[in-house]
Amino acid sequence: MHDLFSTDRVRDLTRRGFTRRDLGRVAALLAAGSTLPFYNEAALAQGLSAMPGMPADAVRINANENPMGPCPEAAEAIHKVVQLGGRYLYHETFDFAKALAEVEGVPTGHVMPFAGSSDPLHRAVLAFTGPGKSFVVADPGYEAGERAAHFLGARTIKVPLRKDWSHDVRAMAAADPEAGVIYVCNPNNPTGSITPKDEIEYLVANKPKGAIILLDEAYIHLSKAEPASPLVAADKDLIILRTFSKLYGMAGLRAGAAMARPDLLEKLRSYGAGALPVTGMVGATASLKTKGLVEKRRKIIADIREETAEWLTKKGFEVIPSEANMLMIDVRRPGRQVFQAMLKQKVAIGRTWPSLPNHVRVSIGTREEMVKFRAAFGRVMNA
Summarize pLDDT for 7-55 with one digit per residue, the tens.
666 677 777 777 766 656 666 655 555 455 555 555 554 444 455 567 7
Could you tell me the fold of the domain covering 46-68+293-381? Answer: Aspartate Aminotransferase, domain 1 (3.90.1150)
Asked if 127 contacts 268 with a C-beta cutoff of 8 angstroms, the reply is yes
Q: Domain extents for the chain? A: 46-68+293-381, 72-288
Q: pLDDT tens-digit profile of 151-206?
A: 889 999 999 999 999 999 999 999 999 999 999 999 999 999 999 999 999 999 99
Kind of pairing between the strands at 238-243 and 212-216: parallel
Q: What is the pLDDT of residue 24?
A: 61
CATH class of 72-288: alpha beta
How would residue 312 be classed by pLDDT, with cut points 50, 70 and 90?
very high
Phi, psi of 22, rounded to the nearest 5 degrees: -75, -20
Question: Which H/E stretch holds residue 126?
Answer: helix 118-128
Question: Poorest-confidence range of 53-57, 106-110, 226-230?
Answer: 53-57
User: With b meaning 16 or more CB within 10 Å and e meaning fewer, what string describes 187-207?
Assistant: bbbbbbbbbeeebbbbbbeeb
Judged by phi (left if over 0) then psi (alpha if -120 to 50, else beta), residue 274 lies in left
Kind of pairing between the strands at 359-363 and 326-330: antiparallel
